[in-house]
């Protein structure tokens, strides 16, 4: 009885099973805050602990979270793929990827889900450059501009934001996309997979909070070179 009652209360859209996948590697300082922000919202949360030392498990006691642990550190791409596969096994309708370093705003998730709920698109990608609400540290803007053209070079798609961790996918899209880039190059790989499987995508404006912590954990110019070579080597070796 209870069950049918709640059914009537919700509009069809609210019943959608949303899973937020958070890959986390040594994010002890920020993970609790991120989860506090998310736990009031009607989403299922998956944290993939990518081999953190000390493990994140202790910090996550009694939180509404599915915790998956990589025994060894594999990289953000691998953690995302693990979380996405687990979400699919739990019959997720929509899967959101979300960074653990506190850069994202939980309120942006609904903005990303909206076009999916309307069946307009298969994937929405967060972009900090559509509206100018993010205060970028100096230097970061030019690195991302460069990365944008590197992505274009490898994938043929020119997006406004090259490396934004906030995305939303339908289960159909998530089943087709398979990330083989364990490291940071997965951001480019996702775009390549979108193109390969001819998925429909939309860029959606989101706000990125730059904190001292996230700046410290974030990508540098040097890591963009590493990503570049990861992609290049992956092209050579299937």
Q: Which stretch binds other proteins (CB under 8 A): 5-13, 14-22, 85-93, 134-142?
A: 85-93
Q: Which stretch binds other proteins (CB under 8 A): 78-86, 110-118, 146-154, 161-169?
A: 78-86
Tell whether omega for the bond before 54 is within 30 degrees of 0, i.e. cis.
Answer: yes
SS3 labels along the chain: CHHHHHHHHCCHHHHCCEEEEEEECCCCCCHHHHHHHHHCCCCEEEEEECCCCCCHHHHHCCCCEEEEECCCCCCHHHHHHHHHHHHHHCCCCEEEECCCCCCCCCCHHHHHHHHHHCCCCCEEEEECCCCCCCCCCCCHHHHHHHHHHHHHHHHCCCCCCCCCCCEEEEHHHHHHCCCCCCCCCHHHHHHHHHHHCCCCEEEEECCCCCCHHHHHHCCCHHHHHHHHHHHHHHHHCC
Rounded least distance, CB 105 to other proteins, Å = 23
Q: Which stretch binds other proteins (CB under 8 A): 81-89, 121-129, 197-205, 207-215?
A: 81-89
Residue 3 engages other proteins in binding (rule: CB under 8 A): no
Residue 235 engages other proteins in binding (rule: CB under 8 A): no
Q: Which residues ranging from 179 to 198 are in contact with other proteins (CB under 8 A)?
A: 180, 182
Q: Which residues ranging from 94 to 153 are in contact with other proteins (CB under 8 A)?
A: none
Nearer to other proteins, 82 or 214 (CB): 82
* Residues 6 or more apart whose Cβ sits within 8 Å of residue 59: 28, 31, 32
Site string for other proteins, 28-67 (x = CB under 8 A): --------------------x--------x--xxxxxxxx
Choose which of 107, 221, 232, 233 interacts with other proteins (CB under 8 A).
233
Rounded least distance, CB 220 to other proteins, Å = 23
Choose which of 17, 26, 33, 69 interacts with other proteins (CB under 8 A).
69
Evaluate whether 168 touches 110 at the Cβ level (below 8 Å): no
Q: Which stretch binds other proteins (CB under 8 A): 10-18, 80-88, 210-218, 220-228?
A: 80-88
Choose which of 3, 71, 138, 212 interacts with other proteins (CB under 8 A).
71
Q: Which stretch binds other proteins (CB under 8 A): 68-76, 138-146, 190-198, 209-217?
A: 68-76
Q: Which two tokens stand for residue 109?
A: 């998730």
- Give contact residues for other proteins (rule: CB under 8 A): 48, 57, 60-72, 74, 78, 81-82, 85-86, 89, 180, 182, 233, 237
């Amino acid at each position: 009885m209870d069950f049918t009652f709640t059914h009537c209360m919700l509009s069809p859209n609210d019943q959608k099973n949303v899973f937020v996948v958070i890959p986390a590697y040594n994010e002890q300082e920020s993970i609790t805050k991120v989860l506090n922000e998310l736990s009031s919202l009607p989403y299922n949360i998956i944290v993939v602990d990518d081999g953190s030392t000390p493990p994140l498990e202790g910090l996550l006691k009694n939180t509404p979270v599915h915790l998956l642990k990589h025994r060894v550190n594999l990289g953000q791409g691998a953690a995302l793929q693990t979380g996405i596969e687990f979400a699919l096994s739990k019959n997720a309708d929509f899967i959101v990827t979300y960074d653990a370093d506190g850069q994202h705003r939980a309120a942006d998730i609904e903005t990303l889900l909206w076009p999916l709920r309307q069946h307009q698109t298969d994937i929405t990608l967060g972009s900090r450059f559509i509206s100018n609400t993010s205060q970028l540290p100096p230097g970061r803007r030019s690195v991302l501009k460069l990365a944008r053209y590197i992505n274009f070079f490898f994938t043929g798609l020119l997006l406004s934001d090259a490396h934004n961790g906030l995305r939303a996918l339908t289960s159909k899209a998530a089943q087709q996309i398979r990330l083989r880039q364990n490291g940071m190059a997965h951001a480019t790989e996702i775009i390549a997979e979108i193109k390969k499987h001819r998925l429909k995508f939309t860029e959606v404006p989101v706000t990125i909070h730059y904190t001292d912590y996230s700046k410290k954990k974030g990508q540098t110019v040097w890591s963009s070179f590493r990503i570049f070579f990861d992609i290049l080597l992956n092209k050579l070796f299937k």
